[in-house]
Structure 1
Amino acid sequence: MNEQRFILDNIMSLKRHLLKRFDVYQITADRQGEKSWQVSEADEVLPLFGPKNLPLVSLKRFFFAENEAIYSFNGNTFSPIKPKIEPRAIFGVQACDLTAISYQDTFFKDDPYYQARRQQTLLVGIDCNSPCEKGFCHEMNAGPHVDSAHADLILSQFSDLQNTAVSSTETAKGAWLLIAATEKGRDSLQGLVLQNAPENWPELRQQLKQQVVAKFADFSYIKSSTEIINKGQVPAKLWEELSVRCLACSGCTNLCPTCSCYSSYEQYDSESNQTTTRRIWDSCQFEGFQREASNHNPSQLAAQRTERFWFHKFSNAYLPEFGRYGCVGCGRCEQTCAGSIGVHSVMKRINQVCCN
């Protein structure tokens, strides 16, 4: 891997540099304190990052649009409608969301609409310096530090180094390690004057990761319940018990950064005599999601849909294709579920019933 490592004294200098070439998006808080990804209009707006600033809505919509026109038909010819995306940089993306984007890259590898957006996007990742309240990314191999295969640029802040025996630590405290992990990342730094990082800084970064992982709560029930799911040992009665609490609101699937279910519909314009096909997000938690033209429905029961959802998130069956589970440990489903059957609630219940 041809990484380049630099010292960055001020994170804003990097943002200002990127603003010259990209539309820069960063986490922004509104007047009510709600966090979301918004375009940055000025270089003096300091980016938000860290566990308390992980937006409830992930970056999925930036690449897999919630509602988009994909082609039109004028009665004779089908014409694709490709999105037009200006070069953009998403600044300060945490490891779990970057892992999810990598997962979606595999799912949508042949999708021209997704790829048109993905190719125009520079991903600037940032290492987490403490755990999220509901996060368990380390259990899912999705954090807390950014994988070099998942971002173009990576930022790691050394101000939180503690009790390290590595030499030159004092020169690292207060500074940022900037890693250019891809050719796109290296190209984005052209014209920015940077000093090469000391050779021991990757080791310092690894120590930081170990310090953060040590702060996570005990989430061993995630691993235990994953094994139970893959052995097919979850009782049918338990899936029924859990499914009764599902409101089919689609909150879990909409917020999950790896969910990719979609449907399509046609929109006819009588003035132009043209039909446009649109693609929209769908949810496997909807009763009609798998209903066939014959009216046969293999997932008519809520218990079947609940079981399938968690099987898709934690089944070994998908490892050959994606190289990982479909859960990145962000905990968003737990935050949004009105029926209290997010990932922690479900995995704890499976562990309780099947292991005790």
Structure 2
Amino acid sequence: MTMYVYELDRVEHLRDWLALRNDVFQPVDNGLGNGSWEAIAHGEVAHFDPQLRPLVSPKSMFFSEQESLFVFDSETFATTKPKHGSQVLFGVKACDLVAISYQDKHFQQDPYYQARRQKTLLVGIDCSAPCENGFCRSVNAGPQVNENIADLILTPMPTIGGDMQGWWLICSSNNGRAAVSGMDLRPADSSWKSWREMNRRHSEAGFKSDTHIINGIQRINARAVPDEHWQQFAHQCISCSGCSQICPTCSCYTTRDLQEDDKYRRQRVWDSCQLEGFQKEASGANPSAEAGRRMYRFWYHKFSEDIALKMGRFGCTGCGRCETVCPGSVGVHSIMEKISNA
């Protein structure tokens, strides 16, 4: 489709407009240098920090951490597909948008995921600097938002004298253009493309060396990391599952049945392939009983060419969150450096 680009003085004006008809969620600082996705009502005065990326990805907005699938009353089964109103995720970074598109493909036939996803407008934002531990550039997931994975894109205008001059608003989908129809917006002049390209180059220049990432990916795909090394790496893992819980592309889950008086409810809840019982069968057989095998499986799924061939890209979007939360120092940078030197 033809992209329409406008000038925007303050992003809060756009957010408030979208909040007229939708539930709007944006990253909000918790005062500790981190943030979470919080609802912002129409008319609410709330600061928007373009640099803030919450430690928790927006994954749970679509793939719920815990949800009911159906109820059985001893005679009939009744599905409990969520009833969901329209919502906006405002200020989503490129890495998280890529992760959402990855999950869209994985859950394309899942009615529970799609009930939320189809009601969601995605407002992306171009990064002006790398995130902590981020390496999105190395895995083709940022720092600039791809027009195919967002409905609206915010890209910063140049800063003069330390003050930001405003934003360009790119309508990259029909839904995005419809969402801003009626707003008093000024069409952008043709300079926006060159300035956006300069912002991309400036952001990419701030990334640290990714040699260990590239070397690690090559060694994983060459099956060049011995099993004893994976077992050694796994000794540092305490099976907290923090990496998979925080990862925006992880989609492992299990189910459980709960009795409620004379009814039974089946729930789907997040699980992790890093936990010993994840693959355990009813017979007692467990193909990933050894911690080293679980460690290998996790990183193979993130960086293997086999997964990329099936899903269209690697399972890692370079957000670096696992490095931030891992207490055993086997997050992505730590593990890829170990693999590179193994």
Relative to the length of structure 2, the TM-score reads 0.96
Corresponding position: 1:103 with 2:92: no
Matched position secondary structure for 2:24: strand
In the alignment, which residue of structure 1 is the partner of 2:292? Answer: 303
Report which stretch shifted further, 237-246 or 29-38: 29-38
Q: CA deviation at 1:243?
A: 0.3
**What is the one-letter code of the residue matched to 1:308?**
R
**What is the one-letter code of the residue matched to 2:50?**
F
Residues 160 and 325 of structure 1: is their aligned pair in 2 closer, same or farther, counting only changes over 3 Å? farther
In the alignment, which residue of structure 2 is the partner of 1:62? Answer: 61
Residues 123 and 161 of structure 1: is their aligned pair in 2 closer, same or farther, counting only changes over 3 Å? farther
Return the alpha-carbon distance in structure 2 between the equivalents of residues 308 and 118 of structure 1. Answer: 28
Q: CA deviation at 1:230?
A: 0.3
Matched position secondary structure for 1:86: coil
Q: Deviations over 1:157-210 (max 9, x none)?
A: 023489xxxxxxxxxx71211011111111100110112111231222112101
Q: Deviations over 1:220-258 (max 9, x none)?
A: 210111011001000112101100001000000000000
**What is the one-letter code of the residue matched to 2:90?**
F
Which 5+ residue runs of structure 1 have no aligned equivalent? 163-172
Q: CA deviation at 1:3?
A: 1.6
Return the alpha-carbon distance in structure 1 between the equivalents of residues 169 and 31 of structure 2. Answer: 32
Asked if the contact 1:129–1:160 (Cα under 8 Å) also holds between the matched residues in 2, the reply is no
**What is the one-letter code of the residue matched to 1:40?**
I
**Percent identity of paired positions between Structure 1 and Structure 2:** 44
Return the alpha-carbon distance in structure 1 between the equivalents of residues 71 and 258 of structure 2. Answer: 9
In the alignment, which residue of structure 1 is the partner of 2:188? Answer: 197
Q: CA deviation at 1:31?
A: 4.7
Return the alpha-carbon distance in structure 2 between the equivalents of residues 204 and 316 of structure 1. Answer: 34
Matched position secondary structure for 2:138: helix
Corresponding position: 1:340 with 2:341: no
Matched position secondary structure for 2:108: coil
**What is the one-letter code of the residue matched to 2:303?**
F
In the alignment, which residue of structure 2 is the partner of 1:226? Answer: 217
**What is the one-letter code of the residue matched to 2:122?**
L
Residues 293 and 114 of structure 1: is their aligned pair in 2 closer, same or farther, counting only changes over 3 Å? same
Residues 326 and 80 of structure 1: is their aligned pair in 2 closer, same or farther, counting only changes over 3 Å? same
Return the alpha-carbon distance in structure 2 between the equivalents of residues 244 and 200 of structure 1. Answer: 54
Q: CA deviation at 1:34?
A: 3.8
Corresponding position: 1:186 with 2:170: no
Asked if the contact 2:74–2:263 (Cα under 8 Å) also holds between the matched residues in 1, the reply is yes
Asked if the contact 2:34–2:53 (Cα under 8 Å) also holds between the matched residues in 1, the reply is no
Matched position secondary structure for 1:237: helix
Q: Deviations over 1:245-273 (max 9, x none)?
A: 01000000000000000000111112xx2
Coordinate RMSD, CA, aligned: 1.6
Q: What does 1:322-341 align with in structure 2 at a 5 Å threshold?
A: 322-341=311-330
Return the alpha-carbon distance in structure 2 between the equivalents of residues 84 and 277 of structure 1. Answer: 17
Corresponding position: 1:9 with 2:36: no
In the alignment, which residue of structure 2 is the partner of 1:167? Answer: none
Return the alpha-carbon distance in structure 2 between the equivalents of residues 187 and 76 of structure 1. Answer: 46
Return the alpha-carbon distance in structure 2 between the equivalents of residues 117 and 48 of structure 1. Answer: 26
In the alignment, which residue of structure 2 is the partner of 1:321? Answer: 310
Matched position secondary structure for 1:249: coil
Q: CA deviation at 1:22?
A: 0.9
**What is the one-letter code of the residue matched to 1:49?**
P
In the alignment, which residue of structure 1 is the partner of 2:36? Answer: 36
Q: CA deviation at 1:48?
A: 2.2
Q: Deviations over 1:39-90 (max 9, x none)?
A: 013432122221xx21111101100000000111112221110112121111
Return the alpha-carbon distance in structure 1 between the equivalents of residues 144 and 44 of structure 2. Answer: 26
In the alignment, which residue of structure 2 is the partner of 1:135? Answer: 134
Q: CA deviation at 1:133?
A: 2.1
Asked if the contact 1:19–1:43 (Cα under 8 Å) also holds between the matched residues in 2, the reply is no
Asked if the contact 1:73–1:276 (Cα under 8 Å) also holds between the matched residues in 2, the reply is yes
Asked if the contact 2:71–2:78 (Cα under 8 Å) also holds between the matched residues in 1, the reply is yes
Q: Deviations over 1:130-161 (max 9, x none)?
A: 01120000001111011111111000002348
Asked if the contact 1:126–1:154 (Cα under 8 Å) also holds between the matched residues in 2, the reply is yes
Asked if the contact 1:12–1:43 (Cα under 8 Å) also holds between the matched residues in 2, the reply is no
Which 5+ residue runs of structure 2 have no aligned equivalent? none
In the alignment, which residue of structure 1 is the partner of 2:75? Answer: 76
Asked if the contact 1:26–1:39 (Cα under 8 Å) also holds between the matched residues in 2, the reply is yes
Matched position secondary structure for 1:149: helix
In the alignment, which residue of structure 1 is the partner of 2:233? Answer: 242
Return the alpha-carbon distance in structure 1 between the equivalents of residues 310 and 230 of structure 2. Answer: 26
